[in-house]
Each structure stands twice: as C-alpha cells, then as structure tokens.
Amino acid sequence: MLQPKRFVDPNHSEALAEGDVVAKDARSVLTRIFLQHKLISEEDLSRCDRIAGKLGADTTFVQLLKKMNLVEETDVLDAVRHHGFCLPYGTLLVELGYITEIELRQMLMVQHEEEFRQKLGELLIDRQLVKESDANRVLACHMGLNFEEPDLPDCEQRLLHLAPLKTMTKLEFFPVRSDGFKTVVVFTDPLNQIARTEAARVYATEIDPVLTSKSTLKRLTVLLPQYREVNLRVAAKREDGAGAPAQVYWILQSAIKLGASDIHVEPLKDRVRIRNRIDGVLREHSELKKSDYASVVSRLKIEAGTDIGERRRHQDGRIRFVDRTTGQETDLRISFYVTIHGECVVMRILNRSDTLPKLDEMGVPPATLARFEQRALEAPSGVIIVTGPTGSGKTTTLYSCVNHLNDDSTSIITAEEPVEYTIDGISQCSLNNKIGRTFDESLRHIVRQDPDVIVLGEVRDQHSAECAIQAALTGHKVLTTFHTEDAVGGLLRLLNMNLEAFLIASTVTCVVAQRLIRKICKHCCEEIPTDKKTLNILGWTHKDVADLTFHSGKGCPKCQFSGFSGRMAVFEPLILNEAVRDAILTNVTASELRRISIEKAGLVTLLEDGLLKAAAGLTTLAEVRRTLPRVTNPRGITDLKRLSGMNI
C-alpha cells in the first residue's frame, strides 16, 4: 500500500516537485490505487490503452476513464483520499481536468519568481483558474482529509463558546461537532500544528481535522458574535417566560439592523432555518429548535392578524414592528405557505422612509438622465412606466421621479397599496379593499381632485392599464410600475393586454427597466485580472476592454467578507420617439422593436449599463453576469461612453 507522507506542505513547489511528476508517473500511481480499490479492471486498462491512442495528448488518464464511464470524480477523490500525498496537488488538479499541464507549469514559475511565495492553491484561485471550492475539495483529498463548508447552524452550540474568537480568527480554525471523545474542527491549514494543538487544548478531546475554505472560515468568525448574541438573548427571554414573543422580536430586530429586505423562517426535516436576504442574496442567520417552531409561527399569526388555528391553507397578513430601543416603526408583509414540514413564513420588510435619493444620486448615466428629464419628466402629459421584477427598486425610482416633480405649482395625487414613502406636499392614498377603498373607486375620485400628476402604485391588469392610458389622454401625467424583464417587454405586455396600439404609441412617453446590483465594498476593493470567460459570456471580447481595468472586493470585516456592500440600480430607459411609435403602430416583431429602440432611440440596455458600471469599478463582471438579462450583445465601450456620457 502507498504510504502517505504526512508533514509536507502540498501547496509549495519546493515541497513537491510538480514538474517531476509527468503524466506517465501519475497514471502509474493512479492505476495501482484504482486497481486496489476495484474501480477498474485489467480489461478496462487494455480498453483504455486502445482508446487513448485515438485521443489527443491533452486528455489525462482520469479524464479518459470518466469519458469511458468507468469512474466518477467522487470515486477518484475517495480513492485518492485513502492514499494521502500520493501525487502532487497540481498534478492531481491536471488529472481531474481543472487546469492544464501548461497552466500548472506557468503557475509554478510565477510561484517560484515571487519574493513571498504564495501557495499554489491560493495562486490558482486568485488567477481565477480554479474555483475556491473545487481547489479546496481536491486539496483535502490529496491530503487524505475531508472537506466541509459548514454554516453556523450546523455547528454545535456549546462548542461555539469554548474558544476565544480572536484565537479562532488568528489560527483559522472553527469547531463543528463532537462526540465527547473526538471533535471535528475545520482548518484552513490542517497541517498547522500550532492551530491543531490549541484546538485540542480548548476542546479537551482528540481533534479530527477537516479542511475548509478561507472564505467559509471568515464568514463563520465574522457572523459568530451576532449569532451568539441572538441565541443568548432568546434563551434568556425564554427563561423569563417571554418565549415566542421574545424570539419573534429578536428575529425581526436583527434582520432590520442587518439591512435585510426579506426574512425566511423555513421548516426543514429536522430543524428550522432562519435566513435573511441582504443585498439581494439569501444568507443563513440562525436556526430555531423544532420544539419552538409552532409557538413562533402562532405568535407571528397573532401579530399579523391572521387565523391562528388555520394550518391547512396559505395566509397573508401585515405586521407593524416597533423597535423598543429606538422607537423606529417598520411595516412587514407576511406570507404563510403550507409545506410538507409545516408553514414556511416569509416576511418582506417595507421601507417606510421619509428620505429619497435624488435622481442624479441614483446612478443614472449623465446623458441618459438629461434625456429622461427633458423628454419624459418635463413632458406635459403621458405615461411613464418603471418596470422590473419584484424587489428591483421600482418604487424608489418612481418616488424619486415624483419628488423631482413636486413643487408648489404642481398637484400630485397617488393611489398606492401600500404607501411606502411619505412625501410632503403630495396627496397619498393607501388602498384598502376591505372597506371598499379599491383601485376603481379611488381612480374615479382622483380625476375630480384637479391633479397634474397621478401616481398609480402598479399596473396589474388590462383594466388598470386602460385607466392609466385614459388619464394620460385627458392631459394628466401618469407614473406607474410594471413587472417585465426589460423596457421593450413593457411595451409588448401592454400590446398583449389587447390595448389599441395607437393608444399606447400616443400616450406612453417612457419605459424604464431596472435591476439592483451589488456594489463592491469600498474598504476592500482591489484591481483584478480581466475574467476572459465571463467577458465572452457577456458578449465582450478582450479587445473591447484592452484599456479598462476591473475590480473586485477581496472581503473584509466591513462587508462580512462578502466583497460587496450595498446595492445600486442599473437602468434601461426607453424614451419613445417617432421611430419607436411607428414600430408599435405597424406591429413589428419583438426583436425588430428592440433593434429600432437601440439603433434609433438611443436605448442603453440593462446589460450595457451594468458593464459600464463594472468598467467604472462600481461592481464586478461576475455580478453583472449573475443579475442582468442578456438579450442582445452589447456595443463597444466607445459607443456606450458616448451614449451614456460616462467618463471611465
């Protein structure tokens, strides 16, 4: 049996001479392992030899076996794990197809030339040749260890209070579970004997070391203080007899403090998970005991005014939360959804804010903003539509437009469900179907109020769309929101509502599509190499961005090591001109309408605006790829800078 060499740093080239292990040597080692574990037979090897001659030299032994459906990657890694350090780390990555042999040799040369030699795995991750999770998973098997990326609820509560946070952060270890004799501890460097010795001392058991990623370790240590506080406070309140009310209070208060937009209380098979959506991404926050779940849901139903005894049907409600320490009031829209494990509760935090960003503070490119103000907002009448999916910031944009129009010479009136921003100087109405204050009833009275500007919270159906258009035909300026993918989609949806094309063409002045995209944390922003693969997927070539630099956040305590802090809007304003109106009247296809909008109406698409913001160092290419729709290929940076007026 191959004996593992346990005290070698697998990430450094001087410890393992990667270049000395050629494909033939790797195959010889792996063949012995695979035969020993009965993954392949001698007959399979003969077949492999015959097929190998027909394939290029770039196909490694493991890749060939996978193509022949003889092995899965998990089988290979499990077998290699039993023979720790049987092959150099880089050679194993080549065999599995994560990098090529040329890329490995290039990275080893870079590593050798550096004054302070970076570990090979970190070098590959930084150069975006291998994903962090893949690099660490292979490294763990190479070292004969397991790989885990635990979340805080996966870790035993009692272990979280034994080691000082400063020690865990400095030595980069974190406890996961213990049976009283052996404690599973994740390390970013399991070969660090100082860290292992300290962990054994703190937990007073034998240590079972497991590899984890640096990003996972940072996330655990950053979130631990808050996680400890929530659990201790809830436990203390439960002992005082407050129970469910205290748990509900801390769940809501902590989410609001973190700036969450949504709270998820999700019953799973053996636990209840609490997650918050922060900056558009769900993050696990804490968990409830199964025994506490029913009382917490009942308390939420009481607060929301729903039927506490109904557990078979979905329900909706609203909660007014008051922070006892600050007195701040927050409205939440709550949904109870019946699942096989119980009722899943999701709460949307509604921003009852009196502060609105100005239009020139929202990230609209200068030239685009000037056209929008002159040809849409300053038009005497017409319909302005802000469109996008739920949670894309439509309401904020809508009311920034309203605030821009608000002065002593203008009468503005609204019909909303609910009122999310309060603005001094305008008449705001919150619809309430239960008492008969419906959309239809309110709209009949709005036109008798002598308004200049009418704000309708949302166009939901054909009837509300007809009402908006009729109001515009009578000389009013109408602002409303919609749910479509992009600006052209907004026009297409109006046409599909069986509205007359000439009414749409004569009343709609502008459709603004938007999304929210995460901003790079300013505290840890750094320049990074251009990600050619992502760039090609987005439709740009390396030649298009030859003079540009891109950035990313490396992660820091300020952003909880996410690399992002806050969000900004990405816009696609389609300002209708004669060419677009003629296209609507002649009922052209969707692709033709989009082409005319881009070529003749100066439309800058969501993707193009996102790429401009990435080029300006405000967000990352990966975030643009994750968030924005790709309908057409973007234009070159020179054209986009001219259309947007941005200086990059």
Nearest to 520 by CA among 609, 621, 390, 605: 621
Residues paired with 413 in a beta bridge: 427, 454
Q: How confident is the model at residue 223 (pLDDT cuts 50, 70, 90)?
A: confident
Per-residue confidence band for 5, with pLDDT thresholds at 50, 70 and 90: very low
Query: Does some domain include residue 98?
Result: yes
The number of domains in the chain is 4
For the ranges 96-110, 219-233, 570-584, the lowest mean pLDDT is seen at 219-233
b/e burial code for range 232-256 (CB count within 10 A of at least 16 → b): ebbeebeeeeebbebbbbbbbbbbb
Indicate left, alpha or beta for 363 from its phi (over 0: left) and psi (-120 to 50: alpha). Answer: left
**Residues 6+ away with beta carbon under 8 Å from 412:** 402, 405, 406, 425, 426, 427, 451, 452, 453, 454, 455
Nearest CA-CA partner of 518 in 256, 149, 226, 259 = 259
Share of the chain above pLDDT 90, in %: 39
Q: Is the pTM of this model over 0.95?
A: no
Say what the pLDDT of residue 503 is.
Answer: 94
Best-predicted range by mean pLDDT (17-26, 45-54, 311-320, 443-452): 311-320
Cβ-based neighbours of 466, under 8 Å, separated by 6 or more:
499
Question: What residue numbers bound the domain in which 288 lies?
Answer: 242-350
Quote the mean pLDDT of the chain: 85
Structure confidence at residue 233 as a pLDDT band (50, 70, 90): low
Phi, psi of 511 (to 5 degrees): -120, 120
Residues 88 and 135 placed together within one structural domain of the fold = yes
Percent of all residues in the chain with a pLDDT value above 70, rounded to a whole number: 92
Least confident of 187-191, 206-210, 433-437: 433-437
Classify the C-alpha dihedral 395-401-407-412 as positive or negative. Answer: negative
Q: How many CB atoms lie within 10 A of CB 570?
A: 30
- pLDDT confidence of 355, banded at 50, 70, 90? low
Least confident of 21-30, 297-306, 553-562, 633-642: 21-30
d(CA 621, CA 368): 22
Q: What is the mean pLDDT of residues 14-41?
A: 69
Instruction: State the average pLDDT over residues 506-515.
Output: 95
What CATH code is carried by the domain that includes residue 501?
3.40.50.300
Determine the pLDDT at residue 241: 44
Residues 258 and 275 in one domain: yes
Q: Which residue has the higher pLDDT, 557 or 500?
A: 500
Residue 1: inside a domain: no
Question: Residue range 11-19: average pLDDT?
Answer: 42
* Rounded CA separation 356/130 (Å): 42
DSSP-based three-state secondary structure for 58: coil
Is residue 87 within 8 A of residue 29, CB to CB? The reply is yes
The conformation of residue 82, written as its DSSP 8-state character, comes to T
- Residue 493: in which H helix or E strand, if any? helix 487-496
Both 393 and 251 in one domain: the answer is no
pLDDT at position 416 is 84
* Residue 315 pLDDT greater than 90, yes or no: yes
Residue 504 maps to a domain: yes
> Could you tell me the CA-to-CA distances from 536 to 26, 520, 633, 634, 641 in Å, in that order?
34, 22, 10, 11, 20
Residue 408 CB contacts under 8 Å (≥ 6 apart), including other chains: 425
Task: State the pLDDT at residue 116.
Answer: 63
Where among 320, 350, 380 does a domain terminate?
350
Query: Which backbone phi and psi does 286 adopt, to 5 degrees?
Result: -165, -170
For residues 380 and 313, membership in a common domain is answered with no
Q: Which of 398, 447, 454 is nearest to 426 (CA)?
A: 454
336 versus 120: the higher-pLDDT residue is 336
d(CA 552, CA 47): 47
Q: Same structural domain for residues 438 and 413?
A: yes
CA distance 494 to 585: 13
583 confidence band (pLDDT: 50, 70, 90): very high
